[in-house]
Amino acid sequence: MADAAANDKQEDRQLVERAQEGDCPAFDTLVLKYSQRLYALIYHMTSHREDTHDLLQEVFARAFRNLKSFRGQSGFYTWIYTIAVNLTLNFLKKRNRRRMLSLDDVDSGIQHDGEFLELTASSDPVREAGLHELQLHLNEALQKLSNDHRAVVTLFDIQGMPHAEISRILKVSEGTVRSRLHYAHKQLQAHLSNYLA
């Protein structure tokens, strides 16, 4: 596991070095590698797919512009995640009024997801609610959180990132990450009480 992460970092470093020397296909490889994860990060923070598309392009454009200044003190992964989170938070600050949700489809894989099957088996409300309704309520509940709290929930609960990594990306202490997470969970439990037994 640790070896795989180290190899991943090494591969990123080589790609970044090549891109810094002007090798555009190397940067394309980084775009292809991270676009899916960064899309998910931005999408779960905005709940708006068109905004997500625009922001994702801006993230990679900014990374490309600033690639020369990337010295490799942190991993490329942390660096580009930081760009994405900061850009999205700035965007959300400017977007004062909450826009209508513009949601992606739920992929068919959810029907085979063990956790989903377990939830539908054990929880009547989840079973009774249609998939679309559940998705809508989840996104609405997330949008009721503050931007900072939503960022932590997205990184920890949805993307499965450890506290230490989140603290590096958000440039706050691990204690702050845990505190935000605790507060956000309390709020989400209140908003989604119908789905929690």
Partner 1 sequence: MNKDEQLSRLLRLKRHESPGQDYFAGFLHDFHAHQRLHPAPQGSFARTCDWLTRASQSLRRPALAWTALGAAATAALVLQLRPTANPSGLAAAPADPAPAASWQSRQTPLPAAQTLPVSSSPRLAPPAPGKRRTSDQPQDLRRVIGSPTPSASAMPADPAQPAPQPAAPR
- Sequence-ordered list of residues with C-beta below 8 angstroms from that of 122, at least 6 positions apart, any chain: 197
- Sequence-ordered list of residues with C-beta below 8 angstroms from that of 139, at least 6 positions apart, any chain: 47, 101, 103
**153 binds partner 1, rule: CB under 8 A:** yes
Residue range at the interface with partner 1 (CB under 8 A); choices 15-23, 40-48, 87-95, 144-152: 40-48
Q: Let me know: does 16 contact 72? Beta carbons within 8 Å.
A: yes
Q: For the segment 103-142, give every residue that binds partner 1 (CB under 8 A).
A: 103-107, 109-110, 113, 115-116, 118-119, 122-123, 126, 134-135, 138-139
- For residues 150 and 152, give the distance between their C-alpha atoms in angstroms, rounded to a whole number: 5
Among 158, 163, 167, 172, binds partner 1 (CB under 8 A): 158
- For residues 68 and 63, give the distance between their C-alpha atoms in angstroms, rounded to a whole number: 9
The DSSP 8-state label assigned to residue 157 in this structure reads I
- Residues binding partner 1 (CB under 8 A): 28, 31-32, 35-36, 39-40, 43-44, 49, 53, 56-57, 60-61, 64-65, 103-107, 109-110, 113, 115-116, 118-119, 122-123, 126, 134-135, 138-139, 153, 157-158, 160, 185, 188-189, 192, 195-197
